[in-house]
């Protein structure tokens, strides 16, 4: 039995759903509807042959019977961590679904992430309704504010008690979802009932068991603009290298997809695939000798073994990585300037611009559906879960599963293969892969 076969995809349920869903024209989802985790028929057959159910996610969507009474249920929403295009869309979608689909009247928006659930900060929650969320999807950022880092779980539960929150929607990344799980556990310990529904948010697209996170597509579109600028700069002069630094702490999906978008990138450097300066320089030297320009896209977490080590941590407890962008910029200049007449290096760092604007149309629609499905899950009494997407369906994923490991590019997988095919860079830029799935 593989490790993955032992995983638990079961979703916790607060109790029997007794109220009729007021959505008269909805196509209701049955509780036993599933979305296969492995779609390969061979894997499915192997599980069945061994008398096991193939691994599958619970399908998201409105249930005919719901657990909470829409007339009395009280809901809270919190946005945590770094910004991501679409945060306001998700807030709006949750509020619209709660009010328009279910007729819920009490919705609180807690301010500045989990700080808003810690009374010591004194942030008062805002009352959310259709008027407050009108047009907020056109704004970047989050109208609720955000913060990084955990807060004492007992304090957070106290605040939830004070506002009588039955369903908490937590929009955030890995740390946020772990915090949401901790809130649920603390409520259980106190014998207090709560539905905790996470909506995974990560610009790096690095949450496991979720095909794609909202805002990722918008971020890649923004990153692409920088790549196009870098390309135009480097092809217009001889002996030119353009270097673009993109977000991506531990997973280089933004750099990889930006590299695929126009095939303008000649070297894509990601955290999952080690390289050495010597390997990169040798390959660059060959390109420039052939009279070719070069565009390099580097994810911020790449090459951390070749930069000066960093020990600083951010509020979420993540190590603040050394700046690979400026490091590479300086090293490339130092290496090539003395060797080549009129060597040009252009450095572009779009930085926060890729994540702080509003979502594009696709991401907005995606956020709306995530928000609606989060509400359906909460109203049905599900808890300790996040809303995911898999094989074009929306799914329920246990928090503990979604936060069990980080999703990363597999250097032996199809995505990296295609990045190599599009860039033309050597598979080995000076170091063997140290990828641990």
Active site residues: 204
Given 248, 303, 325, 381, the residue binding ligand F6P (CB under 6 A): 248
Lookup: tokens for 148 = 């990084």
Choosing from 63, 92, 245, 249, the residue that interacts with ligand F6P (CB under 6 A) is: 249
d(CA 106, CA 167): 11
State in angstroms the smallest separation of the CB of 200 from ligand F6P.
Answer: 12
CB atoms within 10 A of CB 37: 19
Contact mark string toward ligand F6P, 138..177, x via CB under 6 A: -----------------------------------x----
Please choose, from the candidates 225, 189, 209, the residue with its C-alpha nearest in 3D space to the C-alpha of residue 36: 209
Task: Tell me the per-residue interface mask from 105 to 144 with ligand F6P, x by CB under 6 A, - otherwise.
Answer: ----------------------------------------
| Residue among 201 and 382 whose Cβ is closer to ligand F6P | 201
Stretch that binds ligand F6P, among 50-58, 134-142, 176-184, 245-253 (CB under 6 A): 245-253
Q: Is 224 in the site for ligand F6P (CB under 6 A)?
A: no
By beta-carbon proximity to ligand F6P, the closer residue of 60 and 210 is 210
Which residues within the stretch 352-371 sit at the binding site for ligand F6P (CB under 6 A)? Answer: 355
Of residues 258-287, those binding ligand F6P (CB under 6 A): none
Q: Give me the residue whose beta carbon is nearest to ligand F6P.
A: 247
Single out the residue of 10, 154, 278, 314 in contact with ligand F6P (rule: CB under 6 A).
314
Q: Point out which span in 6-14, 242-250, 275-283, 406-414 binds ligand F6P (CB under 6 A).
A: 242-250
Q: How far is the CB of 39 from ligand F6P (least distance, A)?
A: 29
**CB nearer ligand F6P, residue 204 or residue 217:** 204
Query: Do 284 and 269 meet the contact criterion of CB atoms below 8 Å apart?
Result: no
Measured from the CB atom, is 52 or 313 closer to ligand F6P? 313
Residues 6 or more apart whose CB falls under 8 angstroms from that of 145 comprise 79, 111, 112, 113, 116, 123
Which residues lie below 8 Å from residue 162, measured CB to CB, with a gap of 6+? 119
Q: Which one of 9-17, 233-241, 247-255, 265-273 is the stretch in contact with ligand F6P (CB under 6 A)?
A: 247-255
Cα–Cα distance measured from residue 37 to residue 46, given in angstroms and rounded to the nearest whole number: 14
CB of 219 to ligand F6P, least distance (A): 8
Interaction residues for ligand F6P, span 66-85 (CB under 6 A): 82
Residue 271 Cβ vs ligand F6P, minimum distance, rounded to whole Å: 10
Q: What is the DSSP letter of 125?
A: P
Which residues, including other chains, have CB under 8 Å from residue 404's CB and lie 6 or more apart? 208
The distance of closest approach from Cβ of residue 153 to ligand F6P in the complex, given in angstroms and rounded to an integer, is 22
- Whole-angstrom Cα distance, residue 89 to residue 102? 19
| Segment near ligand F6P (CB under 6 A); pick from 99-107, 243-251, 258-266, 424-432 | 243-251
Region label for 340, one of left (φ > 0), alpha (ψ between -120 and 50) or beta (otherwise): beta
Give the C-alpha distances (Å, rounded to integers) separating 18 from 21, 73, 379.
Answer: 9, 14, 11
Residue 333, judged by CB atoms within 10 A of its CB (0-12, 13-18, 19+), counts as middle
For residues 186 to 215, the per-residue mask of contacts with ligand F6P, x marking binding by CB under 6 A and - elsewhere, is ----------------xxx-----------
- Residues 293-312 binding ligand F6P (CB under 6 A) are 300
Q: Which of 176, 170, 126, 169 is nearest to 151 (CA)?
A: 176
Our CB check for ligand F6P shows the closer of 151 and 344 to be 151
User: CB of residue 352 vs ligand F6P: minimum separation in angstroms?
Assistant: 7
222: tokens are 């923004």
- Select from 181, 158, 180 the least CA-distant residue to 171: 180
Q: Would you state the structure tokens that stand for residue 126, as one six-digit string?
A: 């805002």
By C-beta, is 22 or 317 nearer to ligand F6P? Answer: 317
According to DSSP, residue 241 is labeled E
Residue (of 135, 146, 205, 140) closest to 171 by Cα position: 146
Residue 84 or 153: which CB sits closer to ligand F6P?
Answer: 84
Residue with tokens 């000076």: 430
Residues 126, 181 contacting (CB under 8 angstroms): no
- For residue 291 the two structure tokens come to 């009279």
Residues that bind ligand F6P (CB under 6 A): 82, 173, 202-204, 247-249, 300, 314, 355
């Amino acid at each position: 039995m593989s490790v993955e076969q032992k995983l638990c995809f079961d979703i916790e349920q607060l109790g029997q759903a007794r109220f009729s869903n007021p959505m008269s024209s909805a196509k209701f989802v049955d509780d036993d509807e599933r979305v296969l985790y492995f779609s390969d028929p061979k894997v499915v057959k192997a599980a069945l042959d061994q008398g096991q159910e193939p691994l599958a996610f619970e399908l998201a969507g409105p249930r005919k019977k719901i657990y909470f009474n829409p007339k009395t249920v009280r809901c809270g929403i919190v946005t945590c961590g770094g910004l991501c295009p679409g945060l306001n869309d998700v807030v709006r979608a949750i509020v619209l679904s709660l009010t328009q689909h279910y007729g819920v009247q009490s919705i609180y928006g807690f301010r500045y992430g989990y700080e808003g659930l810690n009374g010591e900060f004194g942030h008062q929650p805002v009352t959310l309704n259709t008027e407050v969320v009108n047009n907020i999807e056109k704004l970047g950022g989050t109208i609720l504010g955000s913060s990084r880092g955990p807060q004492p779980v007992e304090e957070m539960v106290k605040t939830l008690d004070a506002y009588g929150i039955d369903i908490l929607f937590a929009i955030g990344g890995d740390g946020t979802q772990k915090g949401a799980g901790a809130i649920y556990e603390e409520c259980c310990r106190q014998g207090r009932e709560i539905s905790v529904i996470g909506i995974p948010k990560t610009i790096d697209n690095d949450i496991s068991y979720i095909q794609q996170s909202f805002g990722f597509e918008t971020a890649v579109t923004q990153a692409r603009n920088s790549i196009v600028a870098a390309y135009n700069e480097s092809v217009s002069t001889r002996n030119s290298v353009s270097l673009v630094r993109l977000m991506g702490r531990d997973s280089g999906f933004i750099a990889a997809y930006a590299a695929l978008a126009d095939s303008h990138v000649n070297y894509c450097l990601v955290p999952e695939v080690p390289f050495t300066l010597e390997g990169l320089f040798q390959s660059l030297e060959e390109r420039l000798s052939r009279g070719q320009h070069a565009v390099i896209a580097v994810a911020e977490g790449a090459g951390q073994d070749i930069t000066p080590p960093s020990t600083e941590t951010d509020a979420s407890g993540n190590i603040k990585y050394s700046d690979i962008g400026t490091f590479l910029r300086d090293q490339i200049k130092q290496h090539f300037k003395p060797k080549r007449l009129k060597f040009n290096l252009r450095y572009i760092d779009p930085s926060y611009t890729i994540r702080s604007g509003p979502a594009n149309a696709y991401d907005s629609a995606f956020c709306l559906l995530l928000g609606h499905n989060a509400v359906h899950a909460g109203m049905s009494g599900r808890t300790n879960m996040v809303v995911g997407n898999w094989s074009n369906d929306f799914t329920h994923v246990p928090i503990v599963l979604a936060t069990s490991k980080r999703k990363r590019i597999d250097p032996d997988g199809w995505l990296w293969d295609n990045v190599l095919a599009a860039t033309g860079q050597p598979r080995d830029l000076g170091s063997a892969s140290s990828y641990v799935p």
